[in-house]
Amino acid sequence: MIYPENMLILAPLSGFTDLPYREAAYRGGCMYAFTEMVDAASLAYANAGGEKLLNISQYERENFIATQLVGSDPELLKRACQKLNAYHFSLVDFNLGCPVPKVVKKGAGAALGRNIELAVRCFGTIAEHVKFPLTAKMRILHQSDPEPTLELCRKLVDLGAQALTIHGRTMEHFYTGEVNFSIIRAVKESFPQIPVIANGGVYSVENCAEMREKSGCSRVMLAQGAMGNPWLFREINGGLPPTLAEWKDMVRTHIAGMVKLYGEESAMRQARKIVHDYLRGRGFPASLRNEASKLTRESELETLLSAASPAAVTATRRIIS
């Protein structure tokens, strides 16, 4: 089976889950992770940026690494699969859930999930041409009625989907609002022959416990909850939150990996949002967040970390000083 029971999975996060991000997650206790979402057109047309998203480590080659395709043109998806077949992945996932406007306006992601006929055609094309196990990630299609979601799931399973990840919010709700556990549970109970992974709104140990209890899914995918908190994987599995020293070392190592991959100038521009996530919700003063917004050199990060003293931490229980 693709995912063992009780497994936690790092979601494909566009603009985030590059190799340094995934390595931080592994240090935090993650075992199963995705690259960033990859646009089929970028691969089909040999866009260098698209192919760079597929960089993986030797550790991942020897253990587990998955990627996710997004697109709504069967021909481009076919060509993308032919490119993907030259890589080493544990599985390929098809995105039927991304609600971001630039994806939706192309008829892909969550918009494609609602166009069941085309979604099934696209999924079938991938199933025919990709050499890896194929799964799908989708959002619920109605806020209260499970049947539209179940209809799409049935068709995907009939075409060979080996796992389904269900985000318990509709496209309109993006990443906020109530998660519909009952529809996720309906999918889980309707397809006992494959792993069903629950997704949406998991930011803490307590959130994860609630998700597992109410959805019936032992497997959970973490997305925004893992941003700036790679230790969430460890904590859910009964481990301790980070010490301040561990927090500093994680931030330092993560950004150093980005500098190595992208070069200092590009890496530090991207690092601003990453450092903001590490600072969020941990009681650090606004002055540190302001400094994070100005980062241009790796040495400036060290100055910021030096200012993150135990005395500065006032509103968190996730850092042990």
What pLDDT score does 178 carry?
87
Least confident window among 45-49, 55-59, 149-153:
45-49
pLDDT over 70 at 277, yes or no:
yes
Please identify, among 179, 203, 236, the residue that sits at the C-terminal boundary of a domain.
236
Residues 69-101: tens digit of each pLDDT: 999 999 999 999 999 999 999 999 999 999 999
Least confident window among 37-41, 86-90, 283-287:
283-287
Pick 172 or 83 by higher pLDDT.
83
Span 154-169, average pLDDT: 97
Please check whether residues 265 and 303 belong to one and the same domain. Answer: yes
**Residue entry with tokens 């590009």:** 266
Confidence of residue 314 (pLDDT cuts 50, 70, 90): very low
What is the percent of the chain with per-residue pLDDT over 70, rounded to a whole number?
Answer: 95
Which of 52, 65, 51 shows the shortest CA–CA distance to 23? Answer: 65
Does a structural domain hold residue 217? yes
DSSP per-residue letters across 113-170 = HH-HHHHHHHHHHHHHH-SS-EEEEEE-SSSS--HHHHHHHHHHHHTT-S-EEEESS-
234-251 burial string, b = 16+ CB within 10 Å, else e?
bbbeeeebbebebbbebb
Does a structural domain hold residue 106? yes
Please check whether residues 230 and 295 belong to one and the same domain. Answer: no
Torsion of CA 148, 154, 160, 165, to 10 degrees: 50
Average pLDDT, the chain: 92
What is the percent of the chain with per-residue pLDDT over 90, rounded to a whole number?
Answer: 84
**Residue entry with tokens 């599985």:** 91
Residues 125-152: tens digit of each pLDDT: 999 999 999 999 999 999 989 999 999 9
What pLDDT score does 321 carry?
45
Span 38-45, average pLDDT: 92
Please check whether residues 192 and 276 belong to one and the same domain. Answer: no
Does a structural domain hold residue 169? yes
Domain count, the chain: 2
Please identify, among 236, 262, 285, the residue that sits at the C-terminal boundary of a domain.
236
Does a structural domain hold residue 1? no
Span 204-218, average pLDDT: 97
What pLDDT score does 173 carry?
72
Please check whether residues 93 and 195 belong to one and the same domain. Answer: yes
Beta-bridged to residue 67, according to DSSP, are 92
Pick 158 or 243 by higher pLDDT.
158
CA atoms of 26 and 264, how far apart (whole Å): 23
What pLDDT score does 52 carry?
75
Confidence of residue 316 (pLDDT cuts 50, 70, 90): very low
Which CATH number does the domain housing residue 199 bear? 3.20.20.70
Please identify, among 236, 266, 291, the residue that sits at the C-terminal boundary of a domain.
236
What pLDDT score does 50 carry?
67
What pLDDT score does 171 carry?
75
Please check whether residues 279 and 209 belong to one and the same domain. Answer: no
Please check whether residues 101 and 209 belong to one and the same domain. Answer: yes
Does a structural domain hold residue 2? no
pLDDT over 80 at 66, yes or no:
yes
Please check whether residues 181 and 122 belong to one and the same domain. Answer: yes
Please check whether residues 62 and 183 belong to one and the same domain. Answer: yes
Does a structural domain hold residue 164? yes
What pLDDT score does 176 carry?
73
Please check whether residues 59 and 185 belong to one and the same domain. Answer: yes
What pLDDT score does 315 carry?
39
Q: At what angle do helices 244-262 and 298-307 cross, to 10 degrees?
A: 170
Please check whether residues 174 and 305 belong to one and the same domain. Answer: no
**Domain limits for position 281:** 244-312
Catalytic site includes residue 98: yes
Confidence of residue 310 (pLDDT cuts 50, 70, 90): low
Does a structural domain hold residue 321? no
Please give the distance of CA 136 from its chain centroid, rounded to a whole number: 13
Q: Which of 30, 81, 98, 208 is catalytic?
A: 98
Please check whether residues 148 and 271 belong to one and the same domain. Answer: no
Does a structural domain hold residue 317? no
Please check whether residues 285 and 190 belong to one and the same domain. Answer: no
